Structure formats: C-alpha cells, structure tokens
Amino acid sequence: MKIIIVGAGEVGFHIASRLSLENKDVIVIEKNADALRRVLENLDVQTIEGCGSNPAILEQAGIKEADILLAVTDSDEANLVASLFAGILSPTTVKLARIRGEEYLMYQDALTQDPYRIDVMINPEVEAVKTVVRLLQVPGAVDVGEFADGRIKVIGVRLDAACSVTGTKLVDLKEKTGNKKILVAAISRNEKLIIPSGDDKILEGDLIYFVSEINELKGALKIFGKRAEPLDRVLLVGGGNIGLRLAKALEGMSIHTKLIEKDPDRCRELAEHLDKVIVLQGDGSDQRLLQEENIQDMDVVATLTGNEETNILTSLLAKRLGAQKTVTRISKFSYFPLVSAIGLEHIVSPRLAAINSILQYVRRGKVLSAMALKGEEAEALEALALETSDIVGKPLQQIPFPKGALVVSIIRGDEVIIPTGDSVIVPQDRIIIFATRQAIPHVEKALMVKLEYF
C-alpha cells in the first residue's frame, strides 16, 4: 500500500511513524525544513520538501500510484487544495483531509461528491468532543471506544487493590463475572501492552481493556470496582471551539454544566449560543474562583483551553480541591506518559482523535472502525469477515492467529458473541480484533485474503 502524507506536524509525523513500522510505502511531503528533518532523523520513510498543494509536487510524489492521500497540515486551505488536485491527477486515490473551519465544513456534502470527491473530511475538534462524551458516559473509565454502532464498548480501567478481581487469573475470571459477556482483551503494565492468555493475572495498577455489551456495562464496571452512576454536574474550563461543542452536547444530555472562559467577548458569544449552560467570565486556574463554584461537588472538570500546560495545572488543582474526575486536553503526544505519571489519566487530544478516525481508512480489508489504545502500542479493529478468508468456517482455536492478536467479539445480526476457542466466524460477521502494532500487518492480510499468510 502506497500512502502520501501531506504535512509533517504532530498528526502527520505520528501517522507516518505508525505506518512505517508496518512496512507500508509512505511518502511525506512537508515545506518546513525543520519538520522534515525530524521525519528524516526518526522515521524510515521517503520525504519530499515542498508544498503538498502543488500539483507538480504531488506528481513527483507519485500520486497516480498512491492508494491513499492524507492531507493533515495545520492549514485547512492547503489540505483542501492538495486533496482537490489529487482528485484531478488520480481519481482512484482515496483522499482524506483534516478540516477544522466551520466555513468549509458547511460545504462538506458538496466536497465529498463528484466532481471534487474528497472521500473523507475529518474535523479533529468534533472527534475530540465525541471522545470526551464517551468518557463522561462511563465515569469510571480511563479510555472508551465504541463498536458495532455503539452496541459494544471497549473500556480501559485502572485496577486498584480493593477491586475484587485484582490478582485473578483470566481463566478464572468467569467465576466472578457470572454469565456477563465480558472479555479482558489487553493489559497495559509498566508502559508495556500485553494481549493476554488465560494464564495471565490482572494485577493492582494494571490498565486493563475489557469488551462488554452495552446493556451489561454497568455490572461490568462494578466487577472492576468502578463507578457506574450517571453524571450530574460538569465544569468546563475553556470556551474555544471544543468547549462550545462539548457544552452544547452536555445541554442535550441534560447535564448541569458550568463553563469558565477568560475572554469577556468570547463569554458573550458563548452565552448567545448556549441556553442552559452557565457561562462564567474568569480564570479557570484561579483557586478562589474554583472554590466559589463548589469544585468539590463536580463530578467532572474538563480543562479544554488551547494551552496544555494551563490544562495540566488546572486539572491538578481541581483534583486537589476535591473534583471527582478530570479530563485534560493535551496536544503533544510526548506529554501523555508524563501526565499519566502525575495522576491525570483521562486525556483528550484532538490530534489523537483525528488519528483514530484516519486509521480505519488506511487499514487493508473490510475495516469498519479502529481505535488506538492508550500508549499507542495496539489497536482495536472492527472488520467484516470475508467469505474468501480462512478466518471463517472453523473454530477459533484451530486458526493460527499471530502472536499479539485476539478476536474479542463477534457480531452476527442482532446477536453479540463474546467468543471462546470453540466459536466459529461465518461470512458477513462483524468481528472485533485486538492487535499489537507488530501483529497488525498480519491481521490486515487475514482480513483481505487467506490466513495462510500468517
């Protein structure tokens, strides 16, 4: 698969890094010499210095042979022009553009149709809000993903010593979960991710990912010692685009919400767009203001300003003052392990949200959706089982899956199956697979053709 990436910022660099490790043919176009040097020094990919919206540069990159073009610069205009010229030069190339401006998104329907045909337009802010809403809907979770149109949840929770299943072997977990459809699909321990077997234990401090049907989620959370009660009170710090979008979403969910914004003019704009949310003008990192707003009574404080250092400090302050949970907006991927180390595990990143949206389109086979797990060492993929694949028609225990890959759910019509070794996949089943980064190329081949590639 040949992929051209226009833009070597955080999103472009991160996607190029992932794909290069999977032995894909990746070409990065970037006009900034420093950003391009970072790619050259760290990644095994081809590079071209120049503007990706220039048709001559696209032709030099081999756009006519490319399977996918990812236009992910920080400029909406550059991404749109690059995608439009790619469509002219190579109509069969799939084109994805990162677009944030509302004035462009108003024309999304027209731009995704012929003759322009930008196949996918991804708004990082919209995706980030979806991420926050999922986190808010599952208060005890560190990470949340949805598959099968929301019927299946992938939940990441941190185990503590008081949890009744801490220290349990996975093979014995069913004795404590009863008939609930729960499967532990991955364990993150000491910054390393494990796709476990039945002999693995879940230990105090582990970040575990489990799969559950939505109607059994509340009981599953209780088993892992996590709160399942709905939210009532939320405080947002930062009234930018993400803050406004999230406030509107919370209004629709009938959650009592307050929003703190420093800029008085922006406060007036926010008040015009919001009906039920209380808009407060002030500094969200001001301890006295937080105390006046009864921070200790808040179920969640979400810090969403454009300054990630401010977000980190405000979240730490909110926790110290008694907030039940914080969600912190972070942009730099290098900050992720640092904020986890200081106790801020509920992170939202518009860039990471955009990457999750992009992943499903760069995966071979009938991949319907994808989710990068915390730490970026694995993915959860939802795919359609093809009739031509050896993954169908035989018990899972007889299929030589690669190390680091696990089928964790089978969706057959309205039925959701948490599989055992005796489960059999049939054509047109939707399957959810957890796979480490190393196993993903093998999983992609399995989803396309026959498992003899393993």
Question: Does residue 87 register a pLDDT over 90?
Answer: yes
pLDDT at 454: 38
Average pLDDT, the chain: 89
Per-residue pLDDT, averaged over 434-445, amounts to 85
Contacts of 277 (CB under 8 A, 6+ apart): 247, 250, 251, 257, 258, 259, 270
SS3 readout for 155-216? EEEECCCCCCCCCCEHHHCHHHHCCCCEEEEEEEECCEEECCCCCCECCCCCEEEEEEEHHH
pLDDT at 365: 67
- The C-alpha atoms of residue 450 and residue 454 are separated, in whole angstroms, by 9
Model confidence at 374, in pLDDT bands (50, 70, 90)? Answer: low
User: CA separation (Å) from 389 to 47, 398, 411, 422, 443?
Assistant: 35, 14, 17, 18, 11
pLDDT at 439: 87
Question: Does residue 112 register a pLDDT over 70?
Answer: yes
Contact 448, 386 (CB under 8 A): yes
Model confidence at 375, in pLDDT bands (50, 70, 90)? Answer: low
Per-residue pLDDT, averaged over 137-142, amounts to 84
Model confidence at 453, in pLDDT bands (50, 70, 90)? Answer: very low
In this prediction the pTM is: 0.84
Contacts of 368 (CB under 8 A, 6+ apart): 360, 382, 383, 384, 430
Least confident of 73-77, 177-181, 427-431, 446-450: 446-450
Question: Does residue 237 register a pLDDT over 90?
Answer: yes
- The C-alpha atoms of residue 281 and residue 263 are separated, in whole angstroms, by 7
- The C-alpha atoms of residue 114 and residue 231 are separated, in whole angstroms, by 44
pLDDT tens digits, residue range 140-156? 888 898 888 888 999 99
Contact 133, 249 (CB under 8 A): yes
Which is more confident, 83 or 340?
83
- The C-alpha atoms of residue 184 and residue 271 are separated, in whole angstroms, by 44
Q: What's the length of the chain?
A: 454
29's tokens: 């176009």
Which residue blocks in 274-347 are alpha helix, DSSP H?
287-292, 308-320, 336-341
For residue 279, the cross-strand partners are 259
- Quickly list DSSP for 30-51: ES-HHHHHHHHHH--SEEEES-
CA nearest to 203, candidates 188, 218, 181: 188
Collapsing DSSP states into helix, strand and coil, what is residue 251? helix
pLDDT at 326: 93
Question: Does residue 376 register a pLDDT over 70?
Answer: no
pLDDT at 452: 41
pLDDT at 360: 77
pLDDT at 171: 87
Model confidence at 85, in pLDDT bands (50, 70, 90)? Answer: very high
User: CA separation (Å) from 48 to 3, 36, 87, 107?
Assistant: 13, 8, 20, 31
Task: Tell me how far the alpha carbon of residue 301 is from its chain's centroid.
Answer: 20
Collapsing DSSP states into helix, strand and coil, what is residue 393? coil
SS3 readout for 274-294? CCCCEEEECCCCCHHHHHHCC
Question: Which amino acid type is present at position 146?
Answer: E
Per-residue pLDDT, averaged over 124-135, amounts to 90
Over pLDDT 90: what percentage of the chain? 52
pLDDT tens digits, residue range 190-233? 878 888 888 999 999 999 999 988 888 888 888 898 876 778 89
Is residue 116 exposed (0-12), middle (13-18) or buried (19+ Cβ within 10 Å)?
A: middle
Instruction: Show the domains of the chain with their CATH numbers.
Output: 2-122 (3.40.50.720), 144-223 (3.30.70.1450), 233-352 (3.40.50.720), 355-453 (3.30.70.1450)
